[in-house]
Chain A
Amino acid sequence: MVDKEHEADDPYEFVAVRFPVEEGVDQDERMARVFIEEYALLGVPRHRILQLFRSQQFASTNAIYVNRGQAFVEAIIEDIYGPQAQEVA
């Protein structure tokens, strides 16, 4: 099973349904911000956040990283953690 290719017409395959994207909303940006804020509020240090996106273990965040690039993710991290915001201990 693990070696078989994805077949789009297989009803048991991964077919998560998306919500309609609202006009003018960047869904990647919204979701990346949700993930980062959720972890930041739990005191996760800034330098660990990027790994959440770089690691292939996390398919959702990694999809954003692959699609939009590191600079895109870093800009959101920068917005939440700084420059005026201090590093979380």
Chain B
Amino acid sequence: MAKVRNWQLGREMDYRYENGKAKRQFAAVFNINRCIACQTCTMACKSTWTFSPGQELMWWNNVETKPYGGYPQNWDLKILDLQEKANPGGQVWNATKKDTKTAPYGTFEGKTIFETANQTDQMATGYIPPEADWKSPNIYEDTATRFVKEGVSLPEHSGWFFYLQRICNHCTYPACLAACPRNAVYKREEDGIVLIDQGRCRGYRKCVEACPYKKSMYRPSTRTSEKCIGCYPRVEGTDPLTEGLPMETRCMTACIGKIRLQGLVQVGDDGLWIEDRQNPLYYLVQVAKVALPLYPQFGTQPNVYYIPPRWVPRDYLRQMFGPGVDDAIAAYENPSRETLAVLQLFRATQSIIFSYKVQQGPKTGELKIGGQTREIFDDVAIGYDSKGREIVRVAVHEPVIERQGALAFAMNTI
């Protein structure tokens, strides 16, 4: 086993291979606070990549309802349970052992899925979900089945849940890659996207077992495993639609709630992100620190980051996103002018935004947030492509469009 640096855990850890050579890494930020679980992302992915025989139960992108739901069912509870059994009482963080760059959330003092595995028949602790768990994504979840004319007659909830949007995390230390006995899984140097070579794969399902996020899936019609490919023709700019420029994935660009932002970050030889202050992803994850990795304690260093839902009990969120939750929510609840502007870049363009600028706008009012009065401004966020050309310009103040007459039916919002 090699020793690799996992900055999300604030320490070195065991991994099957040495650090890879990826110079750029596919990464994304999802703002859970704004997701309405419309599943447009899910269908965009499904209709692009997994519509063929044998892929019926395969959802590379899914949106599940927490705390109950999951695809496959209870995937996270099952992994957490396996880890707890392997290291009873030891899966804890030391939030005081922090460093801005190398341990921003503190230090994880428990064991990763690589460190609890026996390293003989398992390279990472995991399990293969039974087929029933893959069926009926969102069963028992928040799926309204009818439209009411008067009042609210659906069961009411005085407590609240949230939606979790999930794709492959294109992890820096992928468990699927470590587990594959055929070396069919590989991580691309140019963008860090993790792929399964369909020619080499023989469908042993070790990747399905090892991926803690359960984003490797078995396809019985080809007897191979498949996974999210990060829409790599779009990301690399070879899809004819992109006109040679890196473009966001299908799930990102389809998001009607504007909760997703995806791009590429630069990675150094030490595995840390190279400072790139005007990259919106770098800003959100490393500077504003409003976005956090999902279950970082698994140890794969996932590259999809989440702005945690601010209304959910904190102990639940700390288990899911680590000890950075309190600071992240504080930064999101009362955002800086820059954060507010960068949030407007989410799904503002199909092209990948490599850098941004904020142009200050006029003061438009004052609000009381968290008991404190704050000024608000109509600033403008400007996004630039890989060649430094302006590709999008959005104001902080969302335009309000009110439809009139017949068009007003059911569509008028506020």
Q: Which residues of A contact B (CB under 8 A)?
A: 1-4, 6, 8, 11-22, 27-28, 30-31, 34, 37-45, 48-49, 51-52, 55-57, 59, 62-63, 66-67, 79-81, 84-89
Contact = CB atoms under 8 A, between A and B. Distances in A.
Contacts, number: 145
A12 B145 contact: yes
Contacts of A81: 367-368
Interface of B: 33-34, 65, 67-68, 139-148, 150-161, 310-313, 316, 333, 335, 340, 364-369, 373, 376, 378, 396-398, 400, 410, 412-414
For the complex of A and B, 9 pairs with smallest distance between CB atoms:
A18-B159, A43-B397, A88-B365, A17-B68, A16-B142, A85-B366, A42-B398, A48-B414, A89-B364
Nearest to B410: A57
11 contacts: A2-B146, A17-B161, A19-B159, A34-B310, A37-B333, A41-B367, A43-B398, A48-B400, A56-B152, A84-B373, A85-B373
Contact of A86 (B158, B161, B365): B365
Given A19-B161, A66-B151, A88-B365, 18 more contacts: A12-B143, A16-B142, A16-B155, A17-B65, A19-B67, A34-B33, A43-B378, A43-B396, A43-B398, A44-B398, A44-B400, A48-B414, A52-B414, A57-B410, A80-B369, A88-B376, A88-B397, A89-B364
A80 B368 contact: yes
A22 B151 contact: no
B365 A56 contact: no
B366 A16 contact: no
A6 B310 CA distance: 31
Contact of B142 (A14, A66, A80): A14
A60 B413 CA distance: 14
A40 B67 CA distance: 28
B154 A51 contact: no
Dominant secondary structure of chain B at its interface with chain A: loop
A11 B139 contact: yes
A64 to B, nearest CB: 10
Given A41-B340, A42-B396, A44-B400, A59 B376 contact: no
Contact of B140 (A11, A51, A62): A11
Contact of B376 (A13, A20, A41): A41
Contact of A8 (B155, B335, B378): B155
Dominant secondary structure of chain A at its interface with chain B: loop
A87 B147 CA distance: 34
Nearest to A4: B146
A41 B33 CA distance: 13
B152 A63 contact: yes
Contacts of A18: 157-161
Nearest to B162: A19
B367 A14 contact: no
Contacts of A59: 144, 152, 154
Contacts of A66: 151-152
Nearest to A25: B313
Contacts of A1: 145-146
Contacts of A56: 148, 150-152
Contacts of B376: 40-41, 43, 88
Contacts of A57: 410, 413
A82 to B, nearest CB: 8
Contacts of A34: 33, 310-311
A66 B316 CA distance: 29
A13 B147 CA distance: 13
Highest count of chain B CB atoms <10 Å: which of A4, A28, A88? A88
B161 A84 contact: no
